[in-house]
Chains A and B, each alone.
Chain A
Amino acid sequence: MKIAVCLKLAPASTADIRVAPGGQEPLLTGVEMSVSFYDEYALETALRLRETSPGSTIHALSVGGGECVKCLQHALALGVDNVLHIQEPGADARAAARLAAAALRPLTPDLVLCGRQATDDDLWFFPGALGEWLDWPHLSAVFSLDVAPGKSALKCRRRIEGGEQTLEAALPVVISCDRGPHEPRIPTLKGRLASRKMLLPERTAGGLGIAARALEPALATVRYAPPAQRTPKKVLSGAPSETAAGLLRLLRHDEKII
């Protein structure tokens, strides 16, 4: 089976993020960056599929500027077979999906994996747009998938409000991954060192036949701002029975929410 994985670099989940002066962009200098949280599960899923279906290959791709190098080296350190860097600094999710579709079509993978949302723009756009522009089905936020050898369909499980769905999808298909039962593996030092010496093939929008107009940002940024700071209204202390009664009084009479 031929598996493609789309990866994006994003700030680590624990990093503190501020707004750059002028408010037009986030301040990312000095912020720890890593493969976007859910993309790591996509990569882990690909590696496990290759282990269970011998002869499979994994192709990792990343759309953007120089930051993509880190993603692709991470994938190489974990042993993916091929990588591709699509050079398009500042590409938004819509542009990235257009470029990824153009690059993936001639590659003819059976399965494309990506994260359910990128942990920077939190947009949930890329997987559905990629499926649409490849004219393949897509499924979002899958935490477990199963491909029977030689079959042309796969079985996926996803959690939605009120329960768990099992769905079947015809190949080729785009699947966006949720956090699954298998935690992403960490590359060995040897793998990391080796990955730094490997070549990272590049393509550009022009080379993929995509016009610059099709890559314009979908939305115009007005400003970034930190969320409103919450000023703690009251800290209750004392005996549990007093704090409990005090809290319920506040919620009933001041907040009127219970």
Chain B
Amino acid sequence: MTGNVLVIIPLAGGRPKRTAFEPLTVADSLVQQSGGEVSSLLLGPGAAQAAESLGAWGVERAYAAEVGAEDYAPLEWVRLIAETARAENAAVILLSADSIAHDMAGRVAARLEGALASDCVGLTRSEGRLRLIRPVFSGRLLLTAEFAGPGPLVATLRPNAFAAAQPARTGAGAVVPLATRRNEKDLSVIMTEFAKAAAGRPGLTEAAIIVSGGRGVGSAEGFKLILELADALGASPGASRAAVDAGYAPHSLQVGQSGKTVNPALYIACGISGSMQHLAGMRTSKCIVAINRDPQAPIFRFADYGIKGNLFEVVPALLAELKRKA
């Protein structure tokens, strides 16, 4: 089994997302451990230009596919990834875990007759075996597993679970433009419309700080306080299922089972009791703060810092304190 690693980098607005560099760092550590080369495939408008800077990230060959963003065709992406993986004889294919990655990863693994590991929080290699750690049972257990082939391993990595650091060595960084002529199969699924969410705030999956509101915010009006605190901290707002179901917040903000899985450096839960379903989506956050007036709320058992108090008093006090310091 050769040790080549292919990193898939989807572009947003012509640039890799912040979290796209985490798989590159993991790729470097894998080849440091047992040899092989790192290559990458960039997908989206601006790919050729973005590919030019990847030598500094230890990439030998940066494949650039200028595929359309407005007419996203997931099966075209699958084909390009599988073809590039074959050309590179890749043993490992890495993607940062998000909706697009989940769209591709399983199908690529099946096409290459390999295996899939989703949402990994650990990935190392020793003696020709890949060892991975991933949450299962909605985060209630962690599974450590090994893979020794046959076929490549496709792994999606949980955003923010790995550091992104430029490796000490550089790669050749040769840009390889890919032809993007679509075939009939590529077009069997095609995006016809994209309704952009309100701009100005970072997406939940990649956010470094999240301020979330639950049932305790009491109303859509009450949820505005969550938005205010999020803005003051440069954070993304989130919500529990209870808050979404009650109509206080849009579904796009939902964290937990049936919403997004997040992994920020800081997660501030306001008026969230901490159901198993909510914990499933945020328990790997580095630092968790709980603000809840119910001292028995389960969230306190999972929080690093707790404030047992009324969020309608505590959050305005936090806002006042942040303004005072600014």
Chain A residues in contact with chain B, CB under 8 A?
Answer: 11, 13-17, 19, 26, 37-38, 93-94, 97, 116-117, 119-129, 131-133, 137-141, 155, 158-170, 173, 178-179, 218-227, 230, 232-237, 240-241, 243-245, 247-248, 250-251, 255, 257-258
Is the C-beta of B313 less than 8 angstroms from some C-beta in chain A? yes
Which chain B residue shows the least CB distance to A164? Answer: B195
- Cα–Cα distance between A244 and B189 once the two chains are bound (Å): 50
Residues of A within 8 A of B190 (CB): 167-168
B107, B131, B204, B276: the one contacting A132 at CB < 8 Å is B107
Interface mask (B200-212 → A, CB under 8 Å = 1, otherwise 0): 0001111011000
- Cα–Cα distance between A86 and B144 once the two chains are bound (Å): 28
Contact indicator A120/B288 (Cβ below 8 Å): no
CB within 8 Å for A255 and B266 given contacts A129-B109, A163-B195: yes
CB within 8 Å for A222 and B137 given contacts A160-B99, A241-B321, A257-B287: no
Instruction: From B72, B260, B302, B309, name the one whose CB has the most chain A CB atoms within 10 angstroms.
Output: B309
Task: List 22 A-B residue pairs with CB atoms under 8 Å apart, sorted by A's residue number.
Answer: A16-B140, A97-B110, A117-B102, A121-B136, A122-B119, A125-B106, A128-B107, A158-B99, A161-B98, A164-B194, A167-B189, A218-B115, A219-B147, A221-B143, A226-B140, A232-B303, A234-B304, A240-B317, A241-B321, A244-B318, A251-B305, A255-B266
- The interface stretch among B43-51, B162-170, B218-226, B250-258 is B250-258
Contact indicator A257/B266 (Cβ below 8 Å): yes
Is the C-beta of B15 less than 8 angstroms from some C-beta in chain A? no
- Cα–Cα distance between A240 and B141 once the two chains are bound (Å): 36
Instruction: From A14, A129, A133, name the one whose CB has the most chain B CB atoms within 10 angstroms.
Output: A129
Minimum CB–CB distance from B79 to chain A (whole Å) comes to 11
Residues of B within 8 A of A161 (CB): 98-99, 203-206, 260
- Cα–Cα distance between A97 and B111 once the two chains are bound (Å): 12
Which chain A residue shows the least CB distance to B193? Answer: A166
Contact indicator B307/A243 (Cβ below 8 Å): yes
Residues of B within 8 A of A241 (CB): 317, 320-321
B102, B141, B286, B302: the one contacting A224 at CB < 8 Å is B141
A-B residue pairs, 5 tightest by C-beta: A128-B106, A128-B107, A244-B317, A218-B115, A129-B110
Minimum CB–CB distance from B185 to chain A (whole Å) comes to 8
Which chain B residue shows the least CB distance to A237? Answer: B308
CB within 8 Å for A162 and B304 given contacts A125-B106, A237-B309: no
Which chain A residue shows the least CB distance to B197? Answer: A163
Which chain B residue shows the least CB distance to A123? Answer: B118
- Cα–Cα distance between A94 and B316 once the two chains are bound (Å): 51
Residues of A within 8 A of B287 (CB): 251, 255, 257
Which chain A residue shows the least CB distance to B279? Answer: A227
Which chain B residue shows the least CB distance to A116? Answer: B102
Residues of B within 8 A of A162 (CB): 12, 196-197, 203
Instruction: From B72, B135, B147, B257, name the one whose CB has the most chain A CB atoms within 10 angstroms.
Output: B257
Is the C-beta of B61 less than 8 angstroms from some C-beta in chain A? no
CB within 8 Å for A19 and B141 given contacts A164-B194, A258-B233: yes
Is the C-beta of B138 less than 8 angstroms from some C-beta in chain A? yes
Is the C-beta of B325 less than 8 angstroms from some C-beta in chain A? yes
Contact indicator B141/A26 (Cβ below 8 Å): yes
Instruction: From A38, A164, A178, A250, name the one whose CB has the most chain B CB atoms within 10 angstroms.
Output: A164
Minimum CB–CB distance from B284 to chain A (whole Å) comes to 7
Residues 240-272 (chain B) with a chain A CB within 8 angstroms: 251-252, 257-258, 260, 265-266
Instruction: From A11, A37, A116, A243, name the one whose CB has the most chain B CB atoms within 10 angstroms.
Output: A243
A132, A219, A232: the one contacting B145 at CB < 8 Å is A219
Is the C-beta of B172 less than 8 angstroms from some C-beta in chain A? no
Minimum CB–CB distance from A141 to chain B (whole Å) comes to 6
Residues of A within 8 A of B99 (CB): 140-141, 158-161
Residues of B within 8 A of A131 (CB): 107
Contact indicator A244/B105 (Cβ below 8 Å): no
- Cα–Cα distance between A221 and B300 once the two chains are bound (Å): 32
Contact indicator B141/A140 (Cβ below 8 Å): no
- Cα–Cα distance between A141 and B255 once the two chains are bound (Å): 15
- Cα–Cα distance between A122 and B143 once the two chains are bound (Å): 11
- Cα–Cα distance between A37 and B196 once the two chains are bound (Å): 28
Contact indicator B140/A179 (Cβ below 8 Å): no
* Additional A-B contacts beyond A159-B252, A234-B304 (14; CB < 8 A): A13-B277, A15-B276, A16-B140, A120-B136, A122-B118, A122-B119, A122-B135, A160-B99, A165-B193, A218-B115, A218-B147, A219-B146, A240-B313, A244-B318
Interface mask (B57-75 → A, CB under 8 Å = 1, otherwise 0): 0000000000000001011
- Cα–Cα distance between A125 and B275 once the two chains are bound (Å): 26
B136, B141, B185, B317: the one contacting A243 at CB < 8 Å is B317
- Cα–Cα distance between A134 and B139 once the two chains are bound (Å): 31
Contact indicator B106/A37 (Cβ below 8 Å): no
Contact indicator A137/B106 (Cβ below 8 Å): no
